[in-house]
Copies of this chain bind each other. A is one copy, B any other.
């Protein structure tokens, strides 16, 4: 038999903190506190199962809910010694929603429920405070009218204002008892007129109306949106908490407040909170009055003319701090507490783990370990890996004023200010002159990379969280906003249009990549600090993880950053990305545009010494750590010159005619370059390209040997779909190695492996593994091909897809496990059946995503590789995966 209702209060409860799924966070903690014999006003919780039933039964209540609620209410009446709806000794209750996770989109609270024309007078005589009683009733009618009956709060405010005007009052406090009665009548009339029915006088009816309103709010638009944004499943449902009222507004010996057991911003171990005398709870949140601090030392400039609770209510203060310490010790985490003081008596209305900044989270976790309250593994488990991003990029000063011009997707966190420019070249030019610039483009392509590198921040009007701009910016650690649909770029006139406002090139804007906000002018930033608690916690994380963490890096800068963040190797060195500097990309273009072997060879000869030097640099920096070098894999469209000027430049450089090159570029145009002539297909058709690259790798390795640098190159063949392709190309690499080892009298050890990024490769993994020393899952492309979804083009409909719950997560951010994940599993299984000691890694964007990392850990991969700036996230996620602390979908 299902229990729909759980009671609490009077030193015991039917539930406890373990029952969060059933009772919601608030309900479970109220029960827990009651069990701890803390002063919790008695009440009961209607479970989340009721919410599920309610929706399954087309918004009707389960059969015996009414009986259970009546029973629970009777218990409360006994504990409080008052009766619901009895004017002679009235019990009032609050009704609040309470989901498993905090849900700002939902109905919040109805207070003072149970008041009506009769009980209000009863309350007046009981408390001896007619004004208090009537004001409570007035507030109740407004609150209930608003959140249950759906009448806008403004309608009540208008009546109040008109009434005060009519009386010539300025302040609410000027109203006397009769004024309040009059106002109550006006409110009730307005409701009757609006709805055609009177304001419900029957407390039972009020209660069920409020319960229904809470349940209905689970499916309102704001709640749905919030759930989608925070990956909260609809099926969780909400609980409803009904609790006897206590009053912080019955006089100056009453108060209400909010307190954290530690500073949620810094993590400092010190009570942090504020309170209001003679007020109800929502007054603190609403910010109508400025609250006072709880402890003396916490005075901020804005309220140091007030006295602290420590000064004003020393006894209650003492009791409160004891309760807080007790709660923190009990819950073994920093708590966020709501309390009310009624006539000098302290009541605790809520406790929960307090939200905190990443910085505070680290400090609190480390402190709790040092205080002996939690163990390292728990400290490591508690930190949200993604929140670390906050710490890794310069952040805007939270105190600064923000003038938001437009919003986009928070594609790469951090913040930067600078003058806006509309082309990569212009960005480079100005940056070379020492100017800080923000690059604004419709979208970016690899040929913008020099400009992105030169820029301090990037804004694009198109693209999603995994667009080229987003991926590259994250890789570079540049703050970036993508998909800022409100902005229009007029490149010709060099003007940015935002909602009608014309912003010329050179204007100063600030990019807040963490929030996705484009701000006017320069906002001051604060620098990151990755030592101290951060470092401590990362080292603890390393103790628990079994997955190795590498970085995707090509340039010496990237490699150094990766190392500083703890990368244990390079998991993806994209050789074509080594050629984006202007003197190099032109040679790459010459090679791609060459229409015969000799033309390609001439370009390759120019590239060989550059690659050789690059590899030597990387070998030196990585100092014996493994480096997975992917041979050329350009989807051609990323490299083809687009303008006539660029073609002319290549023609001059290559000694070819403009017309020929233009014709060749047109020939090379592909309808779907992602599925085109790229990856190992280039190696098969133009073996001289991979030959040059193999030469560069082995010559550099040989150079490194001569300098006593040890090397561990893993040569990776991209876009393989069959064993035969890999066989052919491994042979080519082996042949080069044999010659160089012979000519230079070396014994360079290396491995040849492949990316698994096509469904065909996953399915044919056994035959491929027979030739491959390692697999590295290219989950970006595997996602694109498995789902038939272009990363560059899906932003148009991905949002619809998430709204319709077709995708629960962006599949380019978090691995889609039903299809893509199955292929990964299949490839692992079959790969190992083809070669027992197959090394397994992953080098897509998913290597930096906690949920995906959990998946990779569970599948037994050897390492993950991600962009340098996500390495700490990956280290922590890998530890949490090993500790089994990341929830699955």
Contacts and interface: CB of A to CB of B under 8 A. Distances in A.
Interface of A: 462, 637, 667, 670-677, 681, 684-685, 719, 721-722, 724-725, 728, 757-760, 763-764, 781, 784-790, 792-794, 796-797, 800-801, 804-806, 816, 818-820, 822-823
Contacts of A764: 818-819
A797 B681 contact: yes
A725 B764 CA distance: 29
Contact of A684 (B677, B757, B784, B804): B804
Given A787-B758, A806-B725, A822-B763, A796 B671 contact: no
11 contacts: A672-B675, A674-B788, A676-B790, A685-B797, A721-B787, A725-B804, A725-B806, A728-B804, A758-B788, A759-B785, A759-B819
A887 to B, nearest CB: 21
Contact of A672 (B673, B804, B823): B673
A676 to B, nearest CB: 4
A722 B807 CA distance: 9
A672 B796 CA distance: 13
Contacts of A786: 758-760, 763, 785
A32 B675 CA distance: 52
A819 B830 CA distance: 13
B797 A671 contact: no
Instruction: Determine how many copies of this chain the complex contains.
Output: 2
A797 B683 CA distance: 11
Contacts of A819: 721, 759-760, 763-764
Contacts of A757: 788
Contacts of A462: 667
Contacts of A818: 722, 760, 763-764
Contacts of A722: 806, 818
B785 A781 contact: no
A804 B722 CA distance: 12
A166 to B, nearest CB: 47
Contacts of A792: 670-672
Contacts of A728: 804, 806
Nearest to A468: B671
B800 A672 contact: no
Q: Which of A675, A676, A785, A797 has the most CB of B within 10 A?
A: A675
B758 A671 contact: no
Nearest to A783: B760
Contacts of A820: 760
Contact of A788 (B721, B796, B823): B721
Contacts of A681: 797, 801
A600 to B, nearest CB: 14
A793 B685 CA distance: 14
A685 B788 contact: no
A777 to B, nearest CB: 14
B670 A793 contact: yes
A792 B719 CA distance: 18
Contacts of A763: 786, 818-819, 822-823
A684 B788 contact: no
Contacts of A721: 787-789, 819
A677 to B, nearest CB: 5
Given A684-B800, A788-B785, A818-B764, A793 B759 contact: no
A289 B632 CA distance: 59
B671 A724 contact: no
Nearest to A679: B788
A680 to B, nearest CB: 10
Nearest to A637: B671
Contacts of A675: 672, 674-675, 784-785, 788-790, 793-794
A781 B789 CA distance: 12
Given A684-B800, A722-B818, A760-B819, 20 more contacts: A671-B673, A672-B673, A674-B675, A675-B784, A675-B794, A681-B797, A681-B801, A684-B806, A685-B800, A719-B788, A721-B819, A724-B806, A725-B804, A728-B804, A758-B787, A759-B787, A760-B820, A763-B786, A763-B818, A785-B785
Contacts of A785: 675, 759, 785-786, 788
Contacts of A800: 684-685
Residue among A462, A758, A764, A786 facing the most chain B CB atoms (10 A cut-off): A786
Nearest to A787: B760
A345 B764 CA distance: 60
Given A724-B806, A763-B818, A822-B763, A672 B793 contact: yes
Contacts of A758: 786-788
A685 B793 CA distance: 14
A757 B759 CA distance: 13
A232 B684 CA distance: 22
B788 A760 contact: yes
A674 B671 contact: yes
A493 to B, nearest CB: 14
Contacts of A684: 797, 800-801, 804, 806
